[in-house]
């Protein structure tokens, strides 16, 4: 997995000399969350607790390509550090702080899929997803 700003591999974007770059999370606008962290949080919000292996298998199914447990180690550690997940007995669970961090992104995803028309209801959308999963579609 390529490095990100969360695991020390990224660099701050270029800016004008003397300018200060402030992440949105610093002012409470949005959590600084990667797509992988979002997917891990979504997986845990749907079924918890899960081991790293179970999470990797779920992400593998979603992305239709193999995701190894070691590839999600850094994002899980970052989420632990932020208090978004809890770890115990080899499994992970989503915390209330994690749920709060995920919520705006979940709403944004539904609005993106809806095309901004606000015709999709989040609760209905999530129940449809769960029904598709149960039916194996």
Residue range of the domain that includes 78: 33-135
Q: How does pLDDT run across 126-137, given as a tens digit for each residue?
A: 777 777 667 665
Assess if residue 117 is contained within a domain: yes
Number of C-alpha atoms within 13 angstroms, CB side, residue 17? 0
Residue 24, C-beta contacts closer than 8 angstroms, at least 6 positions apart: 30, 32
Assess if residue 52 is contained within a domain: yes
Assess if residue 93 is contained within a domain: yes
Q: Please state the domain count of the chain.
A: 1
Assess if residue 39 is contained within a domain: yes
Assess if residue 96 is contained within a domain: yes
* pTM of the predicted model over 0.85: no
Q: How does pLDDT run across 12-41, given as a tens digit for each residue?
A: 556 667 777 655 555 566 778 899 999 999
Instruction: Quote the pLDDT of residue 3.
Output: 47
Residue 99: burial class (beta carbons within 10 Å; 0-12, 13-18, 19+) = middle
Assess if residue 54 is contained within a domain: yes
């Amino acid at each position: 997995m390529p490095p990100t700003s969360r695991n020390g591999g990224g660099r701050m974007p270029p800016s004008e000399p003397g300018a200060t770059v402030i992440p949105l999370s610093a002012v409470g606008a949005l959590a600084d969350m990667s797509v992988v962290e979002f997917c891990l949080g979504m997986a845990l919000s749907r079924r918890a607790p899960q081991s790293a292996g179970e999470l990797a298998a779920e992400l593998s199914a979603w992305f239709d390509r193999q995701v190894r447990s070691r590839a999600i180690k850094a994002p899980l550690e970052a989420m632990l550090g932020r208090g978004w997940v809890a770890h115990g007995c080899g499994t992970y669970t989503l915390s209330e702080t994690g749920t709060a961090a995920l919520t705006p992104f979940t709403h944004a995803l539904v609005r993106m899929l809806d095309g901004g028309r606000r015709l999709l209801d989040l609760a209905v959308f999530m129940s449809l997803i769960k029904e598709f999963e149960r039916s194996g579609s």
